[in-house]
């Protein structure tokens, strides 16, 4: 049986300020909880309107306080911008405050100007991700004291406070190298929307090979995958979704500043068309069927749902409620009750 969480991108849609966008994320998480969904994971971006939230852990803390039941995760905290110990301390604090409800997802990020602003640099992004991930994992492992001496980090022996619990760290992987690294460390994958189920199967196969060779049980990992999810009552809603997402990507992603010149320009309209064709867009039943089919192909049973595509708060709230009804059986239960004599 699959579990379903919302994935809150925090894109700044037309007519909304960044501050209003951040407040909307809180209402969407609460709506997810009220609709019977299982969690909410938040993205992190810097200096662009594609995502207004600059701190996934800070937003996660707020959402943990604003909800009671659902899991709250980061998808993702950008490890290339952070010292692993600082991020580990934040994660351990959230785990202590809301035991069992916080999940840390991390990623490499991109070669963006963030690296220069935060002083970590392009070298750290290109060559330091593995060292940072290993140090982060060790910090959260439950060891009482940690010391480290490496190329990018030097940590004198220090007490781990608060102690880690050994909870997993999810690793965003877009290529085989990162998937294999996560497998060697026994850390589950966080799979994105940009690739097909078949591509995800290949990454999972690579992860399984490395995990088994390192002595980890491949069957014990709770990988997660991310999906565009929109309940659409007809072609007009799909066209609104297409226009809204294309505008957000063209404007927001276009604001990235790369430290590596010569990066190609993506055809955002074609990408949105591909997502709508591949992902859970359609009637409530069709959306549920597509998600179930993806879980069957990949074996990934925890699915993160991008629900903000239409941008307008009431429309997003309706989408969350409709997905909750379709995926938790609420709608079927109500229909059965109505049909009963």
- The residue-averaged pLDDT of 309-337 equals 80
The length of the chain is: 341
Within 13 Å of residue 229, how many CA atoms lie on the same side as its CB? Answer: 34
pLDDT over 70 (residue 331): no
pLDDT in tens, 100-133: 999 999 999 999 999 999 999 999 999 999 999 9
Preceding amide of 102 cis, omega within 30: no
pLDDT in tens, 268-293: 999 999 999 999 999 999 999 999 99
Domain CATH number, residue 183: 3.20.20.30
User: Percentage of residues in the chain with pLDDT exceeding 70?
Assistant: 96
The boundaries of the domain holding residue 13 are 3-339
Distance CA 115, CA 122 (A): 6
| Of residues 290, 306, 277, 269, the one with CA closest to residue 193 | 306
> Could you please report the per-residue DSSP string of 317-341?
HHHHHHHHHHHHSHHHHHHHHHH--
pLDDT over 90 (residue 194): yes
| Of residues 194, 78, 181, the one with CA closest to residue 130 | 181
What is the count of structural domains for the chain? 1
Cβ burial of 99 (10 Å; 0-12, 13-18, 19+) is exposed
pLDDT in tens, 239-262: 999 999 999 999 999 999 999 987
């Amino acid at each position: 049986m699959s579990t379903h969480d919302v994935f809150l991108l925090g894109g700044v849609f037309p007519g909304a300020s960044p501050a209003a966008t951040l407040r909307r994320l809180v209402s969407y998480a609460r709506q997810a909880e009220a609709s019977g969904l299982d969690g909410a994971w938040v993205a992190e971006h810097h200096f662009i309107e594609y995502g207004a939230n600059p701190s996934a852990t800070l937003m996660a803390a707020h959402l943990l306080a604003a909800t009671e039941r659902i899991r709250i995760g980061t998808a993702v905290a950008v490890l290339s911008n952070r010292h692993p110990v600082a991020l580990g301390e934040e994660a351990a604090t959230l785990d202590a405050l809301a035991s069992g409800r916080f999940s840390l997802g991390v990623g490499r990020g991109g070669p963006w100007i963030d690296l220069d602003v935060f002083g970590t640099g392009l070298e750290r992004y290109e060559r330091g991700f593995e060292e940072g991930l290993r140090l982060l994992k060790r910090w959260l492992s439950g060891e009482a004291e940690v010391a480290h001496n490496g190329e990018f980090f030097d940590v004198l022996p220090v007490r781990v406070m608060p102690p880690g619990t050994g909870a997993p760290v999810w690793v965003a992987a877009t290529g085989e190298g990162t998937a294999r690294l996560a497998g060697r460390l026994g850390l589950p994958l966080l799979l994105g929307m940009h690739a097909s189920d078949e591509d995800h199967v290949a990454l999972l196969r690579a992860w399984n090979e490395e995990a088994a060779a390192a002595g980890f049980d491949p069957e014990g990992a709770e990988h997660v995958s991310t999906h565009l999810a929109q309940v659409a009552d007809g072609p007009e809603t799909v066209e609104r979704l297409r226009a809204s997402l294309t505008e957000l990507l063209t404007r927001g992603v276009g604001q990235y500043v790369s430290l590596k010149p010569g990066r190609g320009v993506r055809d955002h309209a074609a990408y949105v068309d591909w997502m709508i064709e591949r992902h859970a867009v359609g009637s409530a039943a069709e959306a549920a069927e597509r998600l179930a089919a993806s879980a069957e192909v990949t074996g990934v049973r925890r699915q993160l749902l991008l629900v903000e595509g239409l941008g307008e708060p009431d429309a997003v709230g309706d989408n969350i409620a409709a997905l909750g009804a379709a995926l938790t059986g609420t709608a079927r239960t109500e229909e059965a009750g109505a049909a009963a004599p």
